[in-house]
Amino acid sequence: MSPQRKRRSTSSQQSSSPPHHTKKAKRIARLHHYQPLDHIHREIRLLELLPGKPGSRIAARLLTVSLNDEPVYDALSYCWGAPRPTYDIFIHTNSHEDGHHDQNEECSYSDESTVSFPVGRNLRKALDDLRHQDEARLIWTDAICINQRDNLEKGHQIRLMEEIYTRARVVCAWLDHNVRPKSSAFDDLENLGRGVELDDFHDPSYWYPVADIFRNPYWRRLWIQQELILATKVHVYCRRDVFPGEQLLEFQQKVNVVKSQVTRVDGPEYTLSRYIDGNTELAPMPEVFGGGIIRARTNMLEGRAAQDAFSSSTSNQPSSDVKITRSMLASSLLNLFLQSAGLRMTDARDRLYGILGLATDIAHGPPLEINYDASPVWVYAQVFRHFVHRYKSLSFLCFDRNNFKGNYVSREHFPSWMPHADINWSNVNASRACGAMLAAPFAVSIDAETLSLHAQGIKVDTIEHVADVEYSGDGPGWIPIPSWLDQVESFCRKTWPDIPQGNDPLHEREDVTALMFPWLSAARYKAMWKLDKPDPPRRALLIRSLLAAARKADQEDLSTGDIMRGGYNPTSIIPPDVRQECYPLHVQINSVKLISTEASRIGNIAKTSGVRAGDEIWVLFGCRMPLVVRPKGLRYEVIGPVVVPGLMRGEAVEVWQKLCEDDAAANDKECRSTAIILD
């Protein structure tokens, strides 16, 4: 694919230099101000970019139109970049300045005045590259078409952002990137997915000229995601080289498929993903919005259909019987908000505002307030109020609070209950600790002043012991198998001191081996690991196989890491199928730690949780996993979700309901749950 390349003039080398302007222009610019928009008639401004040669002074007109009139325009998508230095563009003002404009009307440029308008370096270069030499071009660009100093106007225009980008004739994605257009990779890119695949070439570096485009900071910006996902047509401008966007996005989609795979799959996708992410000074590209623009569009369409079906089903049957599907969650406001933690933004509040056009469930709840005068944490609290209102659920509490990977937003002043990272929905959906108890029938609220979360639930137990596995060698993942099992056995003996020692080790108990493998439904286990979920006898057999492999290798420090990562020839110490089945175990035991309770329950929790003895285990109504919380006077701090066999299927709620029934029969009293306040 040879890019369409606009001809440069010899003056293009001067395009980054600030144009000369007179004292009069500067004086007028200081007096220039926006006229207010009519938000009732859904007015927006459009920039009419006047023709000019590359590198010459940029001139334009600012027009006001109504989306009701279906104007024809293009939309610009770019990184704002550094605010300083600024460069002036020149806007002609006349009777149409910030007034209603008919696109079919001929305009006269006589008797116009000109004002200078300061813009950043990136915007000036983008306008220079996008303008035509022989005709005007009508575009929408946020930095100019929205009065950035008017927070009220910004709020109204953000609500129109979805329609602005969806209606645009083409979205022009401009990158400050110099491509190597003579590479044959761009010719093959044109047929990618249509007879050409990434692995058609022996050396993945063949695709590096294309992959270089995705190493640009542009793709890590929050607002960019929405602008491209909503677009009906995309042109990618690498400076003045223009590429059809859909083929580049197809390349992105094929490379990003490795980000959703649990196990490493060797191939060009892995190499290219590492090249894009690992060989840059930037943080790795997060797996956001489905892993790519194309996938995110599909998620959005599927999410809209799923939300409509959900609304229909909740009106016809009890809410407790309605399932929240993966299609609904993928494009939900909460999920998009959590995934956006890995993206860059100038204003932290945009973490919510920059995804409003993509969330498929916001039409089914109270309106969200756009307020740039509020604190970021107050803005974010709206996401969770909406989730409770829509789904009657508190399962957003099931997150690892100390997982800050890819999080560019400061968590200062955040309440402990507010997630900042992805929720492990696979663990949540495999659990039903709260039974049929939802959040809505009880007093669930977020205090507008303190942002404390008020909920209802049952205190189940208190943590008595926390296992600290002693690693050796190269650290986590390399603990010798015999030593690991000895430590687990010792912890079990501490938990159940009254059980006499017998022939079967305690670490082979069903409730213990369940903690050594990922807590997933059978279907999700199969989808993630390409394996059948092992039943209790199979789990015990796999653990015995690991111990036998360690003895067969005749090496005391043989670890699961050695076996999984090929430190030994797998066929000589463990059968290939067994080795494959043990891989989920290897991942699991290196990401969690064991806990035991005063009531002799055993469970596991994320290693990074910071759990300690004295923390309490609660089942909150509307939260599908048990939650570890830490008493702080009359309030509680959230530590994280915990897996405890015997609590994951609503057993604690069943006992509580039975006690309530017995108490009601005996005393004719209404049974009440316990209120809890989470800070």
How sure is the predictor about 288, in pLDDT bands with cuts at 50, 70 and 90?
A: low
| Mean of pLDDT values over 193-209 | 89
- pLDDT at site 341: 83
The residue that leads in pLDDT, 565 or 513, is 513
Which of the residue ranges 48-57, 283-292, 437-446, 586-595 would you say has the lowest mean pLDDT? 283-292
Q: Which residues 6+ apart lie within 8 Å of 626 measured at CB?
A: 433, 460, 603, 617, 618, 619, 641, 642, 643, 644, 647, 648, 652
User: pLDDT of 296-321, one tens digit each?
Assistant: 898 898 888 888 888 877 665 555 55
The residue that leads in pLDDT, 445 or 309, is 445
Reduced to 3 states (helix: H, G, I; strand: E, B; else coil), residue 630 is strand
Question: Model's pTM, two decimal places?
Answer: 0.86
Q: What is the mean pLDDT of the chain?
A: 85
| Mean of pLDDT values over 458-470 | 90
Q: Which phi and psi angles does 453 have, rounded to 5°?
A: -100, 120
- pLDDT at site 290: 59
Q: Is the pLDDT of residue 30 over 50?
A: no
Integer Cα distance of 60 and 48 in angstroms: 5
The one-letter amino acid code at 515 reads L
Handedness of CA 288, 354, 229, 274 (dihedral sign): negative
Cβ(421)–Cβ(403) below 8 Å: yes
- pLDDT at site 277: 82
- pLDDT at site 305: 87
Based on DSSP, count helices (H) and strands (E) in the chain, helices before strands: 24, 18
What count of Cα atoms within 13 Å lies in the side-chain half-sphere of residue 204?
Answer: 17
Strands 43-49 and 74-77 come out as unpaired
How sure is the predictor about 95, in pLDDT bands with cuts at 50, 70 and 90?
A: very low
Other Cβ atoms closer than 10 A to 652? 24
Q: Which residues of 75-103 are buried (b: 16+ CB within 10 A; e: fewer)?
A: bbbbbeeeeeebbbbbbbeeebbbeebee
User: pLDDT of 349-367, one tens digit each?
Assistant: 999 999 999 999 998 888 8
Q: Is the pLDDT of residue 380 over 90?
A: yes
- pLDDT at site 10: 32
Cβ(424)–Cβ(398) below 8 Å: yes
Q: Which residues 6+ apart lie within 8 Å of 169 measured at CB?
A: 72, 73, 74, 233
Q: Can you read off the two tokens belonging to residue 432?
A: 């039903």
How sure is the predictor about 442, in pLDDT bands with cuts at 50, 70 and 90?
A: low
Handedness of CA 619, 620, 625, 626 (dihedral sign): negative
For residue 278, CA distances in Å to 175, 179, 210, 273 come to 20, 20, 16, 8
Long-range contacts of 206-212 (CB under 8 A, 24+ apart): 207/251, 207/268, 207/272, 208/272, 208/275, 209/179, 209/180, 209/183, 209/185, 210/183, 210/185, 210/186, 210/248, 210/251, 211/251, 211/255, 211/272, 211/275, 211/276, 212/177, 212/179, 212/180
Which of the residue ranges 425-434, 474-483, 587-596 would you say has the lowest mean pLDDT? 474-483
Q: Is the pLDDT of residue 175 over 80?
A: yes
- pLDDT at site 16: 37
Q: What percent of the chain is modeled with pLDDT above 70?
A: 82
Integer Cα distance of 121 and 130 in angstroms: 14
Integer Cα distance of 153 and 36 in angstroms: 8
- pLDDT at site 8: 36
Q: Is the peptide bond before 18 cis (omega within 30 degrees of 0)?
A: no
Q: Is the pLDDT of residue 472 over 50?
A: no
How sure is the predictor about 52, in pLDDT bands with cuts at 50, 70 and 90?
A: very high
User: pLDDT of 600-658, one tens digit each?
Assistant: 999 999 998 999 999 999 999 999 999 999 999 999 999 999 999 999 999 999 999 88
How is residue 423 annotated by DSSP?
Answer: -
- pLDDT at site 129: 97
Q: What percent of the chain is modeled with pLDDT above 90?
A: 58
- pLDDT at site 364: 82
Integer Cα distance of 323 and 340 in angstroms: 25
- pLDDT at site 665: 59
Cβ(648)–Cβ(432) below 8 Å: yes
How sure is the predictor about 671, in pLDDT bands with cuts at 50, 70 and 90?
A: low
Q: Which of 126, 253, 235, 144 is nearest to 192 (CA)?
A: 253
Cβ(147)–Cβ(156) below 8 Å: no
- pLDDT at site 286: 56
DSSP line for 28-89: HHHH--PPPP-TTTTEEEEEEE----TTSPPEEEEEEEEGGG----EEEE-----S-SEEEE
Which of the residue ranges 339-343, 370-374, 440-444, 594-598 would you say has the lowest mean pLDDT? 440-444
- pLDDT at site 406: 55
Q: Which of 486, 517, 482 is nearest to 643 (CA)?
A: 517
How sure is the predictor about 29, in pLDDT bands with cuts at 50, 70 and 90?
A: very low
- pLDDT at site 4: 62
Cβ(71)–Cβ(106) below 8 Å: no
User: pLDDT of 229-257, one tens digit each?
Assistant: 999 999 999 999 999 999 999 999 988 87
How is residue 221 annotated by DSSP?
Answer: B
Q: Can you read off the two tokens belonging to residue 274?
A: 């590492």
| Mean of pLDDT values over 221-226 | 94
Q: Which of 339, 334, 491, 467 is nearest to 408 (CA)?
A: 339
What's the chain's length in residues?
A: 679
DSSP line for 651-676: HHHHHHHHHHHHHHHHH------EEE
- pLDDT at site 265: 58
How sure is the predictor about 340, in pLDDT bands with cuts at 50, 70 and 90?
A: confident
Reduced to 3 states (helix: H, G, I; strand: E, B; else coil), residue 598 is coil
Which of the residue ranges 230-239, 472-481, 529-538, 669-678 would you say has the lowest mean pLDDT? 472-481
Integer Cα distance of 378 and 375 in angstroms: 5
- pLDDT at site 324: 75
The one-letter amino acid code at 91 reads I
Q: Which phi and psi angles does 655 have, rounded to 5°?
A: -65, -45
User: pLDDT of 529-582, one tens digit each?
Assistant: 999 999 999 999 999 999 988 888 766 677 887 777 665 555 567 888 898 999
Integer Cα distance of 601 and 641 in angstroms: 15
Q: Is the pLDDT of residue 14 over 60?
A: no
Which of the residue ranges 16-30, 409-423, 665-679 would you say has the lowest mean pLDDT? 16-30
362: exposed, middle or buried (C-beta count within 10 Å: 0-12, 13-18, 19+)? buried
How sure is the predictor about 292, in pLDDT bands with cuts at 50, 70 and 90?
A: confident
